[in-house]
């Protein structure tokens, strides 16, 4: 999603089409400054939030999703760009990101999900099962082989750290996940 051009501060533009959302509970100005300054330089409105600051409560599994489920219904922009944390550098304008979204999703309300070169964290466990270890063995064939000469370049693994699309679609996905978890409980 990053533009290949150098990041040059641009005048703040009136943007009605895209909002950046970042979950961050650390009370550290340097984390907030990185995403805030690059958002300002590209004219992107940004919302940084948390369920509770780290001084009151450690980050817990599901916090970001709970925060997003509360924030997404309030978003008025056409698209959201949800970034993993406030250490993201935003290099594209809203117009660039909107064009890229339209080229990938067309007129659908699909979400564009970012990728990672490797699956992580290696220690991640869900319901007592080591996800990374199982993914490597049982699901190794679920990902296509890389073309010759491209090893280590193409992001092969889904990473919810970058999601671009309509707020309503993202909210529906999170609600579906929430309902599925409730059924298993």
pLDDT (tens digit per residue) in 111-170: 988 876 665 555 556 566 665 554 444 445 545 555 565 555 555 566 667 899 999 999
The number of residues making up the chain comes to: 185
Range in 3-12, 15-24, 75-84, 160-169 the model is least confident about? 3-12
Retrieve residue 111's tokens.
């979400």
What is the pLDDT confidence band of residue 107, given thresholds at 50, 70 and 90?
Answer: confident
Residue 111 has a pLDDT of 92
Retrieve residue 84's tokens.
């993993």
Residue 68 has a pLDDT of 92
Within the chain, which residue ranges are assigned CATH 3.90.550.10? 18-115+158-184
Residue 108 has a pLDDT of 82
Please report where in the chains the tokens 């924030």 appear, as a residue. 71
Q: How far apart are CA 153 and CA 150, in angstroms?
A: 5
pLDDT at 4 over 50: no
Residue 131 has a pLDDT of 55
Domain 18-115+158-184: assigned CATH number: 3.90.550.10
pLDDT at 1 over 70: no
pLDDT (tens digit per residue) in 43-95: 899 888 877 766 677 667 678 888 899 999 999 999 999 987 666 788 889 99
For residue 22, the tally of other CB atoms under 10 A from its CB is 25
Q: How far apart are CA 147 and CA 145, in angstroms?
A: 6
DSSP-derived 3-state class of residue 96: helix
């Amino acid at each position: 999603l990053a533009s290949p051009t150098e990041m040059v501060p641009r005048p703040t533009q009136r943007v009605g089409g895209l909002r950046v959302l970042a979950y961050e509970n650390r009370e550290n100005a340097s984390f907030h400054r990185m995403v805030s300054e690059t958002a300002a330089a590209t004219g992107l409105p940004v919302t940084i939030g948390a369920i509770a600051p780290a001084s009151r409560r450690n980050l817990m599994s599901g916090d970001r999703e709970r925060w997003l489920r509360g924030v997404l219904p309030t978003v008025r922009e056409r698209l959201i760009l949800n970034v993993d944390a406030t250490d993201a550098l935003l290099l594209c304008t809203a117009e660039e990101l909107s064009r890229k979204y339209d080229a990938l999703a067309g007129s659908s309300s699909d979400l564009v999900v970012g990728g990672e070169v490797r699956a992580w964290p290696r220690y991640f466990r869900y319901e007592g099962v080591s996800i990374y270890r199982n993914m490597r063995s049982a699901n190794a064939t679920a990902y296509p082989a890389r073309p010759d000469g491209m090893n280590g370049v193409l992001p092969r693994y889904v990473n919810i750290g970058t999601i671009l699309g309509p707020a309503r679609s993202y909210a529906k996905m999170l609600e579906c996940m929430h309902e599925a978890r409730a059924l298993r409980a």
